[in-house]
Amino acid sequence: MSEPSAEILAAFEAAKGFMPVGEGLALYAAAAEAAKLGLPLLEVGTYCGRSTILLADVARQAGTVAVTVDHHRGSEEQQPGWEYHDASVVDPEVGLMDTLPTFRRTLRKAGLEEHVIAVVGRSPQVAKVWGGQLGLVFVDGGHTDEHATNDYEGWAPKVAPGGLLVIHDVFPDPADGGQAPYRIYLRALESGDFEEISVTDSLRLLRRR
């Protein structure tokens, strides 16, 4: 189960989103390992469900569930006038981004709706009311220091011993991308609670000691 089927990989590649295939395969393998703990797999930052497909397929096979947390109004860099803005996911009635309908269609096309709990809300608020441990936390939300820090402080403590913390868009060189995910990655290592398992491009896998 460490690699997705051709059908799941095709669904991943067809979905709207930004994660490259190589990083997706690394995420899938990490989720497959973490799922052995029998705990939920959680991601922060759903967008349109590209990476959710991978977590949901692992959850389906492992008999657990994928949880995905997002307010679905888009992060800073996805707003009008910014590099990653996509006008096709703007709700014309309210004039704001709303990726939730696209996300739901993505899951339905992939046949994975029943294996996902979609939580619509802001990460810090959801983290405060989440009581249980998690087998995997995938941090891929807002890329400001405020949002990345909130995601790390809210969710990293909920990773079970032996579970995995996965951080996306980690760029040690500022020329390659924003530094907020890199800073929370360093915090995780410096905490002594996590050890690095692998690096795949901008994806970092850490195991809770």
Residues classed as catalytic: 143
Q: Nearest CA to 44 among 118, 111, 135?
A: 118
**What are the structure tokens assigned to 9, written together?**
């990989």
Longest CA–CA separation in the chain, Å: 48
